[in-house]
Chains A and B, each alone.
Chain A
Amino acid sequence: MALMQIAEPGQSPDPHKKTLVLGIDLGTTHSLIASVKNGTPVCLESADGEKLMPSIVHYTESAVEVGVQTEKTKGVDVLSIASIKRFIGRSAKEVQQLLEAFPVDYEWDFTDAAVPKVKTPQGLKTPVEISAEILKTLKKRAVQHFGVDEINSQNADSFKVVITVPAYFDDAQRQATQDAARLAGLSVLRLINEPTAASLAYGVEQDGTYLVYDFGGGTFDCSLIELNGDVYEVVATAGDTFLGGDDIDHALSEWFLATHLDGKKTKNLRSILKDAKERLSSQESVSVMDFTITRNDLTQVMEPILARTYKCIQRLLQDGRKSVKEVNQVLLVGGSTRSPQVFDGITAICQQQPRNDVNPDEVVALGALAQARKMTSKDVNHLLLDVCPLSLGLETMGGIVEKIIPRNTPIPVTKEQIFTTMKNNQSALKLHVVQGERESVEDCRSLAQFELRDIPPMAAGVARIKVRFDMDANGVLKVSAEELSTHHVASIDVKPSQGLSEEQLLEVLQAGQASAGEDINARLDKGARIELQRIIESCDHAFAEDASLLEDADQAAFAEQLKQAKALAEDAAATREDLKAMRESLNAVSEKLAALRMDKAIQDALKGTYI
């Protein structure tokens, strides 16, 4: 059984600690999980030999099943939830709007405007919880493949994953995806964008510019990527979160209803036509309920949908300051690119034949795995530089958006801007963080609101309020504000209403565990100890290598803290709170060394460069 073991260089891996490195494509219609098996990166199969797992969650009163439903006992009420990805990280209002375009046959509860829930036989479930079920099932698949033992499979640290999200996913959707992974007991190394992942899996090696066209079941994404040696640089990205193969199915059924059935609804029409659509990829015409649909009919139905994707490509090229002639290759990703209509359309728009030689279903998961391997190994050298897909800004007077981070800014990024008060003696400032390209707040997506209070009395325009936006490499945002004369600080993780707090997460976990009859406390204790051990290892390594960067006094303090931490980690009587507090103090002590090591890394990287 090939298990990847991870250890800091120069240290022997703990034989009891087994870590799986995984790539997950959490798709709207299908999901996949990839790992290295016998030295080869592969998508893992289910017991039935299927790699693609339908992203459908079935709830009965007593069980949850994902993918193909097996339990079909008579009299058992089953609720099947498909395409939950469309709704993850969205508010009640947004879900209601979406439902108009994509009606579903299950009911929602909108009591909580921030966190809409689905009514299931097991009570109300959030989209995050439902997505977590999909991830749990994929995780189980990995456990079965690699024979992970009971103890390790309980520990999130044993599952290092990179999960892909559409490039166009906004902050709330990314946060929600991360929450779902935490709920499923996975440790997320990074969220990466689907088109970026795809380009990693296509294994492009020649330096140049690549355009990735990712047309899946529910979303459309495109990215312009420059490869230069080992560096993948995402130059620009564009897309549409509400555009996918589902829309083609929807448009096709509308067309069929109007032209052949006089608007008379028929059961299962959509899936019948979906099947017809797929057959039209290889046949010139197919018959559906005594009628004939030709490929040309389908082309006409698809035309306006594909036109929207071409528009995204135009914007992409403009943002990336490239002409279509400068694109070396076009890479196709996503099931919807199997249509000959897409192939022909792209050939015309991009003035070259696109590549479609990697299985479009598997390419994203394999790319996620490639990134996960890179991040857990010292031997793989590629660097992935990604961008922020949507502009981020603040509401100012009159509902106008002041952009702080423009779209396609390389991440991680920190931007600061000074604002002031509008009224004399204004004591509070409301900050409204929004995302989107439009000028007016109403047309953008609201991410969070918070207040900076206790501003000292000053004349209008005198107070200087520094607002800081921090976006990390996952595309997750943090905003803080500081009044500069008093240094009064207010800050917020832009974890919009939909996000789970640590307590909520614990609550959900507890609820789930209680039914499984496990001792949640023991599990949390163990987790806290492992966390502390992990940070000790890492600090030990940093200290051994670079202690000389610190002044003597700091060195001594670091060594002492490390010693205490080691003692506590061995102390069986240490409580969870003790372990957590120790982890925090060790972390605080190590901050100085961490920063000095970064300076050193830069010096080393540029050493002897007279290029």
Chain B
Amino acid sequence: MNNPFILFQLKPAPDLRTQEGDILPLDVLKARYTKVQAACHPDSFAMASEAQQKAASEMSSRLNQAYKMLRDDLSRVKTWLALLGLEIENQTTKPDMDLFELQMDLEERLAAVAAGDESQKATLIQDIESIKAQALDWFVSLAQNTPDTIEDVDTCLNQYSKLALSSRLEQRLYSM
């Protein structure tokens, strides 16, 4: 799985863009995914040779994996960073008090909402979304300069942590 962006004819970026650099909405990715999946799914090769069936199955699972990597913001940013040589899994983040306090605050408010305090829900969602949008914007503007590698790894990891935190809380809010 070298470059999932190329597989869907996208520009490697933290957000979704055409190869020419124009911004794309999320449902375009889904449309492309189903289109290529229809062309490659093993069901479409049931009557073909074993080698062809195997190739279809391999491609189809590559597409599933690539789609999953690009579908949500967090994993897309992670994939993009990996292409620039920054493997998130191999990094150790420095302790950051501000981030820690932010997390504690959000967790507390989330717990209150979970306990039934619906009045806080709307503002909490707003705050989480705005943290997420800010972090994503930071990556998008970093990408504007088309870097070859990541220079300021610490800031990058800090922003990534914010994106990860807000994505995680967003999901928990959603499944409530």
In the complex, the answer to whether A539 meets B49 with C-beta atoms within 8 Å is: yes
Chain B neighbourhood of A321, CB < 8 A: 174-175
Tell yes or no: A535 within 8 A of B by CB.
yes
Name the interface residues of B55-100: CB closer than 8 Å to any CB of A: 55-62, 64-65, 67-68
In the complex, the answer to whether B55 meets A591 with C-beta atoms within 8 Å is: yes
Tell yes or no: A70 within 8 A of B by CB.
no
Least CB distance, A526 to chain B, in whole angstroms:
19
A-B contact pairs, 18 of them (CB 8 A): A228-B34, A230-B38, A233-B34, A375-B47, A381-B38, A383-B43, A413-B61, A413-B64, A414-B58, A472-B42, A473-B43, A538-B52, A542-B52, A594-B49, A598-B58, A602-B7, A602-B59, A611-B28
Tell yes or no: A338 within 8 A of B by CB.
no
Tell yes or no: A374 within 8 A of B by CB.
yes
In the complex, the answer to whether B37 meets A606 with C-beta atoms within 8 Å is: no
Complex Cα distance, B42 from A472, in Å, reads: 9
Tell yes or no: A41 within 8 A of B by CB.
no
Tell yes or no: A291 within 8 A of B by CB.
no
Complex Cα distance, B58 from A415, in Å, reads: 12
In the complex, the answer to whether B40 meets A601 with C-beta atoms within 8 Å is: yes
Tell yes or no: B46 within 8 A of A by CB.
yes
Complex Cα distance, B61 from A470, in Å, reads: 9
Tell yes or no: B150 within 8 A of A by CB.
no
Complex: chain A residue closest to B59, CB-CB: A598
In the complex, the answer to whether A414 meets B65 with C-beta atoms within 8 Å is: yes
Tell yes or no: B51 within 8 A of A by CB.
yes
Tell yes or no: B115 within 8 A of A by CB.
no
Tell yes or no: A462 within 8 A of B by CB.
no
Chain B neighbourhood of A413, CB < 8 A: 61, 64-65
Q: A606-B9, A611-B28 are in contact. Are A597 and B35 (CB under 8 A)?
A: no
Tell yes or no: B31 within 8 A of A by CB.
yes
In the complex, the answer to whether A609 meets B35 with C-beta atoms within 8 Å is: yes
Chain A neighbourhood of B7, CB < 8 A: 602
Complex Cα distance, B43 from A472, in Å, reads: 11
In the complex, the answer to whether B54 meets A594 with C-beta atoms within 8 Å is: yes
Chain B neighbourhood of A591, CB < 8 A: 51, 54-55
Tell yes or no: A76 within 8 A of B by CB.
no
Residues of chain B at interface, number, CB under 8 A: 40
Complex Cα distance, B55 from A539, in Å, reads: 13
Tell yes or no: A568 within 8 A of B by CB.
no
Which residue of B36, B47, B51, B64 is within 8 Å of A594 (Cβ)? B51
10 smallest CB-CB distances across A and B, nearest first, come from A594-B55, A605-B39, A375-B46, A538-B49, A412-B61, A598-B59, A601-B39, A594-B51, A590-B51, A594-B52
- Give A155-174 as 1s and 0s: 1 = Cβ < 8 Å from B's Cβ atoms: 00000100000000000000
A375-B43, A385-B41, A472-B42 known, 13 other contacts, Cβ within 8 Å = A376-B46, A411-B61, A412-B58, A415-B65, A538-B48, A538-B49, A590-B52, A597-B55, A598-B55, A598-B58, A601-B39, A602-B7, A605-B35
In the complex, the answer to whether A383 meets B37 with C-beta atoms within 8 Å is: yes
In the complex, the answer to whether A473 meets B41 with C-beta atoms within 8 Å is: yes
- Give A364-403 as 1s and 0s: 1 = Cβ < 8 Å from B's Cβ atoms: 0000000100111000010111000000000000000000
The winner among A8, A535, A539, A602 for most chain B CB atoms within 10 A is A602
Chain B neighbourhood of A383, CB < 8 A: 34, 37-38, 41, 43-44
In the complex, the answer to whether B34 meets A542 with C-beta atoms within 8 Å is: no
Which residue of B8, B43, B56, B65 is within 8 Å of A598 (Cβ)? B56
Chain A interface residues toward B at CB < 8 A: 6, 8, 160, 189-190, 228-231, 233, 318, 321, 371, 374-376, 381, 383-385, 409-415, 470, 472-473, 534-535, 538-539, 542, 586-588, 590-591, 593-595, 597-599, 601-602, 604-606, 609-611
Tell yes or no: B168 within 8 A of A by CB.
no
Tell yes or no: B50 within 8 A of A by CB.
yes
Chain A neighbourhood of B67, CB < 8 A: 410
Q: A321-B175, A598-B59 are in contact. Are A605 and B38 (CB under 8 A)?
A: yes
In the complex, the answer to whether A473 meets B28 with C-beta atoms within 8 Å is: no
Complex Cα distance, B57 from A595, in Å, reads: 10
Least CB distance, A447 to chain B, in whole angstroms:
19
Chain A neighbourhood of B35, CB < 8 A: 605-606, 609
In the complex, the answer to whether B43 meets A374 with C-beta atoms within 8 Å is: yes
Complex Cα distance, B9 from A318, in Å, reads: 32
Complex Cα distance, B61 from A235, in Å, reads: 16
In the complex, the answer to whether A609 meets B43 with C-beta atoms within 8 Å is: no
In the complex, the answer to whether A412 meets B64 with C-beta atoms within 8 Å is: yes
In the complex, the answer to whether A597 meets B52 with C-beta atoms within 8 Å is: yes
Chain B neighbourhood of A610, CB < 8 A: 18
Complex Cα distance, B54 from A593, in Å, reads: 12
- Give B1-41 as 1s and 0s: 1 = Cβ < 8 Å from A's Cβ atoms: 00000011100000000100000000010011011111111
Chain B neighbourhood of A229, CB < 8 A: 34
Chain A neighbourhood of B8, CB < 8 A: 606
Complex: chain B residue closest to A598, CB-CB: B59
Complex Cα distance, B43 from A371, in Å, reads: 9
The winner among B8, B18, B49, B57 for most chain A CB atoms within 10 A is B49
Q: A189-B46, A412-B57, A414-B61 are in contact. Are A598 and B40 (CB under 8 A)?
A: yes
Complex: chain B residue closest to A539, CB-CB: B49
Chain B neighbourhood of A587, CB < 8 A: 49-51
- Give B146-157 as 1s and 0s: 1 = Cβ < 8 Å from A's Cβ atoms: 000000000000
Least CB distance, A343 to chain B, in whole angstroms:
29
Complex: chain A residue closest to B53, CB-CB: A594
In the complex, the answer to whether A538 meets B55 with C-beta atoms within 8 Å is: no
Least CB distance, B151 to chain A, in whole angstroms:
28
Chain A neighbourhood of B60, CB < 8 A: 412, 473
Complex Cα distance, B171 from A318, in Å, reads: 11
Complex Cα distance, B37 from A431, in Å, reads: 32
Complex: chain A residue closest to B38, CB-CB: A383
Q: A383-B37, A410-B64, A598-B59 are in contact. Are A611 and B51 (CB under 8 A)?
A: no
Q: A383-B38, A412-B61, A611-B31 are in contact. Are A190 and B43 (CB under 8 A)?
A: yes
Complex Cα distance, B49 from A586, in Å, reads: 10
Chain A neighbourhood of B18, CB < 8 A: 610
Least CB distance, A376 to chain B, in whole angstroms:
6
Chain A neighbourhood of B37, CB < 8 A: 231, 383, 385
The winner among A160, A542, A598 for most chain B CB atoms within 10 A is A598
The winner among B41, B48, B59, B175 for most chain A CB atoms within 10 A is B48
Chain B neighbourhood of A534, CB < 8 A: 49
Chain A neighbourhood of B38, CB < 8 A: 230-231, 381, 383, 605
Chain B neighbourhood of A599, CB < 8 A: 59
In the complex, the answer to whether B39 meets A604 with C-beta atoms within 8 Å is: yes
